[in-house]
Structures are given as structure tokens and as C-alpha cells.
Amino acid sequence: MIVKTDQERNGMRAASRVVKAALDAAERFIKPGVTTLEIDAVVEETIRSFGATPSSKGYQGYPNASCISVNDVVVHGIPSLMTVKDGDIVSVDITALLNGYQGDAARTFPVGNVSPQNLALIAAAKAAFEAGIEYAKAGGKVGDISSAVQLYTELRGYGVVRALTGHGIGHKMHEPPEVPNFGKRNTGAPLKNGMCICIEPMITAGDWRVVIDRDGWTVRTADKSNAAHYENTVIITGGEPEILTV
């Protein structure tokens, strides 16, 4: 959706605030010993407390309100009775629908005392997003964002996942254009004033290749290295982009 009216912008902002509140609630709740299903319940309650609905529930058969991806799981981890442990890293990805508008964001949280390597990986996912957002301006192209994310990530020795991408967002969770985390400058869809996209680096401590579990959802690194995810919903403008989920 190319966001034009004040009403549409406000709709995207409001849905995004719900997502941010649910991420914050998950962050406060996460501690050693809680199950990923309990984290998901906190997310769902928070979303519903705003009168919003969790978009992922029922999306192509996905069962839960959030995706909770631990350690070597990159994205789309299904909440379960598995507990998170001291030293784990937990990625929480949430999409919420409010008044016809979608917001989508993800963070990777440390559980208890986490190794410096894992903290650096988490920080690198956020920094890769920030490298990409530098190029999120009308007049540029999607490939400018993609190449900046890739360059930042790979220069630091991390892998950048290619099987999944960021995306446009609006009345639907996934809209054109795709926003890959790798690519070449001056290629891809033109960035336009009012365009709403999700920029979401998924980065790995080792190789970028991923495999999918037999559940059909869980995306893991092929080499079992840990992964981190950082996603925000963003409105492109002629100047500074508006980051809606921070």
C-alpha cells in the first residue's frame, strides 16, 4: 500500500503501536524457565487488550499469535512447551491487525546471562537494520537498502539469510515489493513517498543457508549456528523515514 492520507498513516501507526506494546510485554516476561507458549499467550493477550487481532494466527495455517525462534531457529518458530534457558537468545516476531491496518516487527531478546558472542549477534541485527534504513528514502531503490544490509552484515563476518525477505505492508501483512537483505544498489523497486515496508534483517553467526523442519514452518540455520532478527514497519518519505514500531 502506498500510504497517502493522514488517516492511512494514523492507521499504520496505531497497528504498529500494538505490535511494539506486545514486543515490550514479551521482553518483560521472558526469563529462564518460561515456555514459548507462555510467551505467546502474553503476546496474544496484549494484542487483544487493544482490540486488535494477531494476524499470524491462521495465516496459511500458522497456529499462533507470534513466531518464537530460539537460538539456531531463524524465524517462524512455533510456540510450544519448550522452556527457554539461561544463555538462550529468543526471537519474537509479531504482526497485529487493527482497524484494517497491519503492523509487523521482531526483536531478538537475551535470556538471563548470554555470551558476548550472542549479544554481538543481536546487536549486529539491529545495526544491519540501521545500515539499511539510511537508504530508505523516496528516489532510491529497494536494492539500496538490501545492499547496505548485506554489506554491513558480511563485513562483520555474519551471514545474511536469503530465503526470506522483508516486504511491503498495509491492509495485508505481505504486499509488494519484496525487500531482500542482500542485493545490489540501484536495482529493484523504486522507493516512493508514502510507501510502507518492513525491513527485517535475519542474520546468522555462521553460514547463511537455512533448512525447514518437518513441521513445515521452523526455519533453522543449516550449520546450527545462532541467528538474530530485527524488524520494523517503516513509512518512506522524501526525508527521514518514519519508523513505526520503535
Cα 232 from Cα 41, distance rounded (Å): 22
Among ligand MF3, Co ion, none, the one that 62 touches (CB under a kind-dependent 5 to 8 A) is: ligand MF3
Given the rule CB under 6 A, which of 59-67, 139-147, 219-227, 236-244 is the region that contacts ligand MF3?
Answer: 59-67
**Cα 121 to chain center, whole Å?**
15
Number of Cβ within a 10 Å radius of residue 176: 11
- Contact with ligand MF3 (CB under 6 A) among 59, 119, 209, 216: 59
Alpha helices in the chain (DSSP H): 6-29, 36-49, 116-133, 142-155
Does 93 sit near Co ion (CB under 5 A)?
Answer: yes
- Cβ distance to Co ion smaller for residue 39 or 106: 106
* Binding letters toward ligand MF3, positions 179-198, x by CB under 6 A: -------------------x
Instruction: Please tell me the distance from the alpha carbon of residue 18 to that of residue 51, in angstroms, as a whole number.
Output: 9
Which has the closest alpha carbon to 94: 84, 114, 79, 81?
79
Task: With contacts defined by CB under 6 A, name the span among 17-25, 38-46, 53-61, 188-196 that binds ligand MF3.
Answer: 53-61
Residue 95 in the binding site for ligand MF3 (CB under 6 A): yes
CA-closest candidate to residue 107, choices 190, 30, 38, 52? 30
Nearest to Co ion of 62, 83 (CB atom): 62
Query: 59 contacts which partner out of Co ion, ligand MF3, none, CB within 5 to 8 A by kind?
Result: ligand MF3
Q: Which residues in 12-28 are b (16+ Cβ under 10 Å) and which e?
A: bbbbbbbbbbbbebbee
**Smallest Cα–Cα separation from 94: which of 246, 231, 207?**
231
Residue 216 binds what, of Co ion, ligand MF3, none (CB under 5 to 8 Å, by partner type)? none
Which of 40, 44, 88, 104 contacts Co ion by CB under 5 A?
A: 104
Interacting residues toward ligand MF3 by CB under 6 A? 56, 59-60, 62, 67, 76, 93, 95, 104, 198, 200, 231
Interacting residues toward Co ion by CB under 5 A? 93, 104, 106, 198, 231
